[in-house]
């Protein structure tokens, strides 16, 4: 079954060319089933790239998915046209006021990790978002900065600056093979990492109720389950395209920013060679397992979401 997105959204043509099943409003209406409503709060500068990455992963399951794009209410992006934002995104204040509920909700990363959380311009609204998820969302997935913000707010676990950027493809271990979110996972695998901050395993272990599912000896904890909040927090980037780390590296080189070649990414660590994608299958597994777990546990009556 496909993901339902507007036929005019750039991701529609991209995913169609890749063989991902997508459908427009009219085709979806002919299917007499209850689709899963998934929201994406997109905090990344390159909105179109990010929305396509997540649509690709959540649209690869046997279920019909409705993807709803959400933005911060007052924050204005400088990297995506106003026409695109107006056509496809709704401000969170509008979503909040509507009272509608979501089967799943993704909060992306944001390039603001050098700032203490309270100094982020939209931090107050971010707190409203994460509290709203507890009554209006069945399962929330916080990614990178989004996940760190959630775990900080709910559990007081702090992020810490790294001496140098964790940048490249790092080996991770499957720490909970019996988890429904890790069905089909290998014992170890690589995940793209691109961040200046970390959360520390001992501090996560000290927070009651948190379970670490994936971790790395080199870059620390990666995927955390928070059953009490019906949430997952991932600090690394399964959603990245094959060339995303290359784009970041080339940008920094062009800007004169001191940056290491992303480790274990280019063949022979040679940036003149084409990078290889070694995480795609596990990316689909993780997000497919998340969608499946939502389907297995969410109330059929969406109005019952968040009701104790």
Question: Among the options 198, 225, 239, 248, which is catalytic?
Answer: 239
Question: Among the options 136, 138, 144, 222, which is catalytic?
Answer: 144
Question: What distance in Å separates the CA atoms of residue 21 and residue 41, rounded to the nearest whole number?
Answer: 22
Q: Nearest 5°: phi and psi at 274? A: -75, 125
In the structure encoding, which two tokens stand for residue 267, read together?
A: 């063949």
Question: Among the options 136, 138, 237, 282, which is catalytic?
Answer: 237
Catalytic, 237? Answer yes
**Paired residues of 102 in beta bridges:** 137
What distance lies between CA 120 and its chain's CA centroid?
A: 19
Query: Could you count the other beta carbons within 10 Å of the beta carbon of residue 237?
Result: 22
Question: What distance in Å separates the CA atoms of residue 65 and residue 59, rounded to the nearest whole number?
Answer: 7
Task: Identify whether the C-beta of residue 173 lies closer than 8 Å to the C-beta of residue 184.
Answer: no
Taking CA 304 as the corner, what is the angle to CA 98 and CA 35, rounded to the nearest 5 degrees? 75
Q: Is 206 helix (H, G, I), strand (E, B) or coil?
A: coil
Q: Nearest 5°: phi and psi at 128? A: -65, -40
Q: CA nearest 34: which of 299, 304, 278? A: 299
Burial of 155 (0-12, 13-18, 19+ CB in 10 A): buried
Q: Is 271 helix (H, G, I), strand (E, B) or coil?
A: coil
Catalytic, 158? Answer no
The residues that are catalytic are: 144, 237, 239
């Amino acid at each position: 079954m496909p993901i339902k997105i507007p036929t005019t959204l750039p991701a529609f043509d991209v995913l169609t060319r890749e063989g991902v099943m997508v459908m427009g409003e009219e085709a979806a209406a002919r299917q007499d089933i209850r689709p899963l409503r998934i929201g994406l709060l997109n905090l990344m500068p390159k909105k179109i790239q990010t929305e396509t990455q997540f649509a690709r992963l959540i649209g690869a399951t046997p279920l019909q998915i409705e993807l709803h794009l959400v933005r911060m209410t007052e924050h204005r992006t400088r990297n995506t046209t106003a026409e695109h934002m107006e056509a496809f995104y709704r401000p969170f204040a509008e979503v909040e006021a509507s009272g509608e509920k979501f089967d799943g909700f993704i909060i992306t990363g944001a390039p603001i990790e050098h700032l203490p959380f309270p100094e982020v311009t939209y931090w107050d609204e971010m707190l409203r978002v994460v509290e709203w998820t507890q009554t209006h969302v069945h399962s929330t997935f916080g990614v990178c900065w989004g996940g760190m913000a959630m775990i900080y707010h709910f559990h007081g676990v702090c992020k810490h600056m790294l001496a140098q950027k964790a940048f490249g493809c790092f080996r991770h271990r499957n720490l909970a093979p019996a988890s429904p979110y890790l069905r089909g996972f290998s014992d170890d695998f690589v995940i793209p990492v691109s961040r200046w901050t970390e959360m520390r395993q001992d501090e996560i272990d000290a927070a009651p109720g948190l379970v670490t599912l994936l971790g790395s000896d080199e870059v620390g904890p990666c995927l955390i389950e928070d059953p009490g909040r019906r949430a997952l927090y991932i600090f690394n980037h399964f959603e990245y395209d094959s060339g995303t780390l290359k784009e970041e590296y080339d940008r920094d080189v062009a800007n004169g920013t001191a940056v290491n070649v992303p480790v274990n990414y280019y063949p022979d660590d040679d940036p003149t060679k084409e990078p290889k994608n070694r995480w795609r299958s596990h990316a689909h597994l993780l997000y497919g397992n998340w969608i499946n777990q939502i389907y297995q546990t969410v109330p059929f009556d969406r109005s019952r979401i968040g009701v104790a």
